[in-house]
Amino acid sequence: MIEFKNVGKKYSGGSFGLEKVTFSVVPGEFVYLIGKSGAGKTTILKLLIGEVKPSSGKIIFKGHEIQRFSRGNIARLRRKIRMVFQDFKTLFDRTVLENVMLSLYILGRRGKEAEAEAKKALKLVGLEDKYNYFPVQISAGELQRVAIARAIAGGPEVLLADEPTGNLDPETGGEIITLLEEINRDGTTVIVTTHNAQLVDKARKRVIAIEEGKIVRDQKEGAYHAS
Amino acid sequence: MHLRTAWNHIRRSPYQACAAILTMALTFFVAAVFFLAAIGIQTILADFEKQPQITAFFSDIKSEEDIRLLDEKLKGTGTVEKTVYISKEDALRIYQEQNKDDPLLLEMVTADILPASLEISATDPKHLEGLAAILEQEPGVEDVIYQKDVVDRLIAWTQVARTIGLVLVLVLATVSLLVLLTVISMKIALKREEIEILRLLGATNWYIRWPFLLEGGIYGVIAATLAWGASFMAVWYSLPFIKSFLTGIVFTGLSPLLILTLLGGLVAGGFLLGVIGSFFALVRYL
Ligand SMILES: Nc1ncnc2c1ncn2[C@@H]1O[C@H](COP(=O)(O)OP(=O)(O)O)[C@@H](O)[C@H]1O
Ligand SMILES: [Mg+2]
């Protein structure tokens, strides 16, 4: 479903970005991308939604080379591969419900239908009593859930989550991971970046470790540290 | 959908919306007034052209028999299409008809003080001078009036008014386009973050553009409607004044059809101007 073939990315500043990254993900998989800050995890996710173009190599989604996509095709791609951003990117002048509806409107849902689907997504992340709250009125963990609800509303094929536990206490982080695993069980392919060793070790999922822009380990049912 | 988004944009910044709408409304108002004036002048011109091209007024020493002889003499030149004799009584009747709403004016005038006249239409305007020469040599002819002079002067004035109107409307249209551009650009700047998020969620460029284009269009339509109303108010209030100024001309200009045509034209023009203004802003900043 997703394939990286010798993908390189050089940022204009001269920092390394990525080098010869090769891996593939099959439908329904759950993948942890791990590595220190600055290793290149976010860059991999951004390449997948076409926000960043690779300097070399191919990125393939369902047989199509993403790096060659037109703007219109990238827009369509982003409706299938939805990302939960590290900084959430919620709109602070909209309610929780309205924030989730944003992504449904883009999918072409209207009025009542959009509202019903948004509520369904919010229920799934456990925010059914916060529809009309504004982002400043809820906690960081709840904001993370709003961002997840917005990404899964309308049913994407792939969910990318960039450090979803980064800003959270361990317990709340664990709940978020549980939620992502539930979403994965319902059939969505999930890729999560993290540097939280404890959660990765507990999950026993596939682990792709990155160091200085290179893949150093790709292990099924792996742990945070190489065994 | 996009319309709702556009409406929300407008609601959230009423002052900018007002600035855009008012400058556009001023533009359309001026355009509408000049348009209506042009139509009015057209009516007047048409009216003049139907009238005889030369009129001779006689003093009281001229008998009807004298005038009949003169009439024959004129027709003898072969350059006259037709003549109409208006006696003092006819003149009074016409005067009474024109001023039937004004009893004071009616009381003041009797057939005695109105001159008899002969209205002469030439077969071709170029014969007018020859006819006028004959009339001016004739004893008992008090005054000779060329309609052509009046029409020519009117046409010259129309030309000037049209040029002024066109320049004014162009300048105002440019100003309102700039104001609209500024307003929409500001909104785009304010919505940078939202636009960025929408893009990341898979919105196409057009999905993002439509609300802005419609916003401009809505400004244009509201402005056009306001200008339309205002221009008719202006005409309505100045019509009695204009009528007293130009007696004897029947205004058929303000038909419902014209009113609706003007509304349609203004609304379409307003929508187009608004959309174009927004489009420039989008091209520049998005
Ligand atoms: N827009 C950018 N311009 C220049 N360098 C960048 C940019 N984004 C990321 N980088 C660099 O690329 C490397 C990988 O960054 P990133 O993918 O964000 O790492 P991670 O998410 O693993 O912390 C870092 O060295 C970072 O400084
Ligand atoms: Mg990162």
One domain for residues B35 and B172: yes
Tallying the residues shown for chain B, one arrives at: 286
Integer Cα distance of B155 and B147 in angstroms: 12
Do residues B163 and B198 both lie within one domain? yes
Report the mean per-residue pLDDT for chain B: 84
3-state DSSP helix/strand/coil percent for chain B, to nearest 5?
Answer: 75, 10, 15
Predicted local distance difference test score (pLDDT) of residue A85 = 96
Whether residue B239 sits in one domain with residue B198:
yes
Residue A55 carries which side chain, given as an amino acid letter? S
Query: Cα(B227)–Cα(B246) distance, rounded to whole angstroms?
Result: 26
Based on the fold, state whether residues B263 and B167 are members of the same structural domain: yes
Specify whether B162 is located in the same domain as B280.
Answer: yes
- How many angstroms is it from A15 CA to the middle of ligand 1? 8
Strands, E assignment, A110-203? 158-162, 189-194
* B138 and B279, same domain (yes or no): no
Instruction: Kindly report, residue by residue over B90-136, the tens digit of the pLDDT.
Output: 888 888 887 777 777 777 777 778 888 888 888 776 777 788 888 88
Confidence class for position A127, pLDDT limits 50, 70, 90: very high
CA dihedral B271, B275, B277, B283 (to 10 degrees): -170
By the 8 A CB rule, do B52 and B106 touch? Answer: no
Nearest CA owner, ligand 1 atom 5: A11
Using DSSP, state whether A82 is helix, strand or coil: strand
Q: What is the mean pLDDT of chain A?
A: 94
Domain end, chosen from B97, B114, B146, is at B146
Question: Span A143-164, mean pLDDT?
Answer: 96
Ligand 1 pocket member A41 (CB < 6 A): yes
Q: Distance, in angstroms, between B188 CA and closest chain A CA?
A: 15
Instruction: Give the residue whose CA is nearest to atom 11 of ligand 1.
Output: A17
Domain CATH code at residue B81: 3.30.70.3040
* d(C-alpha A25, C-alpha A159), whole Å: 12
Domain that holds residue B29: 2-47+152-285
Task: State the distance from the centre of ligand 1 to the C-alpha of B126, rounded, in angstroms.
Answer: 88
Same domain flag for B200 and B128: no
Quick check: A150 contacting B, CB < 8 Å? yes
Task: Kindly give the interhelix angle for B2-12 and B14-50, rounded to the nearest 10 degrees.
Answer: 100
On whether both B39 and B98 belong to a single domain, the answer is no
Nearest Cβ partner of A76 from B193, B198, B202?
Answer: B202
A156 contacts on B by Cβ (under 8 Å):
none
Do B188 and B81 share a structural domain?
no
> How many domains, in total, are found in chain B?
2
Q: Are residues B168 and B110 in the same domain?
A: no
CB A72 within 8 A of CB A22: no
pLDDT at B185: 92
Report the alpha-carbon distance of residue A23 to residue A40 in Å, rounded: 14
Backbone angles phi, psi at B277, to 5 degrees: -60, -50
Is B190 found in the same domain as B61? no
Give CA–CA dist A84/A40, Å, rounded. 17
Separation of CA A216 from chain center = 21
Chain segment A156-165, per-residue pLDDT in tens:
999 999 999 9
Rounded CA-CA distance B238/A78 in Å is 61
Helix (H, G, I), strand (E, B) or coil at A67: helix
Residue B42 pLDDT: 78
Cβ of B202 and A150 within 8 Å? no
> How far, CA to CA in Å, does A190 sit from each of A29, A47, A73, B41, B232?
6, 15, 21, 75, 65
* pLDDT of residue A120 exceeding 90: yes
Tell which of B94, B125, B146 closes a domain.
Answer: B146
Taking 50 as the pLDDT cut, the residues of chain B under it are none
State the angle between helix axes of B128-137 and B64-76 in degrees (0 to 180), rounded to the nearest 10: 150
Query: What is the reported pTM?
Result: 0.77
pLDDT given for residue B250 in this prediction: 55
Dist CA A225 CA A112 (whole Å): 48
Option in A71, A102, A105 nearest B1 (CB): A105
Q: How far is Cα B243 from Cα A21, in angstroms, rounded to an integer?
A: 86
pLDDT at B64: 82
Q: Which ligand is nearest to the CA of A86?
A: 2
Query: No. of H helices and E strands in chain A?
Result: 7, 10
Q: What is the Å distance from ligand 1's center to A192 Cα?
A: 17
Q: Which residues contact B143 (CB under 8 A, 6 or more apart)?
A: B56, B57, B115
Is the same domain home to B162 and B229?
yes
CB-CB contact of B247 with B13 (8 Å): no
What 3-state DSSP class applies to B56?
A: strand
The CA-based angle A9-A11-A13, given to 5 degrees, is 155
The residue out of B129, B146, B163 marking a domain boundary is B146
- A76 in B contact zone (CB under 8 Å): yes
The answer to whether the CB atoms of A82 and B193 lie below 8 A apart is: no
Nearest CB to A91; choose among B1, B194, B207 = B194
Say how far residue A80 (Cα) sits from the centre of its chain: 12
Q: Is the ipTM of this complex over 0.90?
A: yes
Q: Which residue has the higher pLDDT, B242 or A122?
A: A122
A40 CA closest ligand 1 atom index: 17
* DSSP per-residue string spanning B18-47: HHHHHHHHHHHHHHHHHHHHHHHHHHHHHH
Q: Please report the pLDDT score of residue B270 as a whole number.
A: 94
Cα A191 to middle of ligand 2, angstroms: 13
CA-nearest residue to A91 within chain B is B194
Classify the phi-psi angles of A158: left when phi > 0, otherwise alpha if psi is within -120 to 50, otherwise beta: beta
Q: Identify the CA nearest to B249 among candidates B38, B11, B53, B44.
A: B44
